[in-house]
Amino acid sequence: MKTKIYESMVLLDNALVREDWKKAKATVTDTLTKYGASIVTCRRYDEKKLAYQIKGKNRGTFVMCYFTLEKDTMAEIRREWELNEKVLRSLILRVEEVPATEHELAAAENNADFVVPAPPPDDMVEEEEPIIDPVPLDEIMVPDLNDVDLDSKA
Amino acid sequence: MAQQRRAPAPPISGKYCEDHMPDYKDVEHLKKFLSAHGQILSRKRSGYCTQCQKALKLAIKRARHMALLPFVG
Ligand SMILES: [Zn+2]
């Protein structure tokens, strides 16, 4: 029987990533190994602004793992991620092969000098619009109240 | 707003299909197939063949689930 390969993308709460990257990554890998999956590659895929807010977060870190699974435990894996508060979203798909570039990208993460950039601190920001740079004080025109022409519509 | 009339995109088939199979991770590519309101373009507008259009829909739905694409534009 051909071993089934799966691709999983997990969206993690940046708060967890900020605490410790290895621990954050382990929330993904531990679940996989716990239910009998063999991890082929696993890496930080991206950190970005989400297309919509999830649990009040505007940003999150994506983790991409490829694994093989012989056992019939997929439902348990999905369930565990669904119940985990720090996992904002997850997706598991069957794939034909692990992309060639994936090994290299995942290996780079194991280098001693690999540092996960700290996620920007705005994942709790409520505003949708980016904050506009404040106008310097000396550029704000203060109208002279004695000079206001009340009849003018301008 | 005046209704926009655009000529349908040329049909995509064969080799092109293979090279441009929609993937939920390729957000920039998928964005091209969303209307201003974030709706998936019809097959007529996307230029994809029936099979690829199905794959496109699935890819966009997956990308939306992962918050890579918005539900509304
Ligand atoms: Zn096609």
Nearest to B62 by CA among A99, A120, A119, A95: A95
- ipTM of this model? 0.77
pLDDT at B49: 85
Average pLDDT over residues A94-118: 88
Containing domain of residue B48, as a range?
Answer: 14-65
pLDDT at A95: 95
Q: Please report whether residue B20 resides in a domain.
A: yes
Residues of B with CB under 8 A from a CB of A: 24-25, 62, 64-71
Tens-digit pLDDT profile for residues A87-99: 999 999 999 999 9
Domains in chain A and their CATH numbers?
Answer: 4-110 (3.30.70.60)
Tell me how many domains chain B contains.
1
Q: Please report whether residue B51 resides in a domain.
A: yes
Q: How confident is the model at residue A40 (pLDDT cuts 50, 70, 90)?
A: very high
Rg (CA), chain A: 23
pLDDT at A34: 97
Q: Please report whether residue B60 resides in a domain.
A: yes
| A49, A89, A101, best to mutate vs chain B, most B CBs in 10 Å | A89
Q: Is the pTM of this model over 0.90?
A: no
Q: Is A1 helix (H, G, I), strand (E, B) or coil?
A: coil
Tens-digit pLDDT profile for residues A131-151: 566 665 566 565 555 655 556
Give the CATH number for residue B47: 4.10.640.10
Least CB–CB distance from B70: residue in A9, A52, A89: A52
DSSP calls for chain B: -PPP--PPPPPP-THHHHHT---TT-HHHHHTTB-TTSPBPPHHHH---HHHHHHHHHHHHHHHHTTSS-S--
A77/A8 Cα distance (integer angstroms): 11
A21/A81 Cα distance (integer angstroms): 17
Q: Please report whether residue B25 resides in a domain.
A: yes
Average pLDDT over residues A72-83: 96
Q: Is A3 helix (H, G, I), strand (E, B) or coil?
A: coil
pLDDT at A120: 84
CB A105 within 8 A of CB A46: no
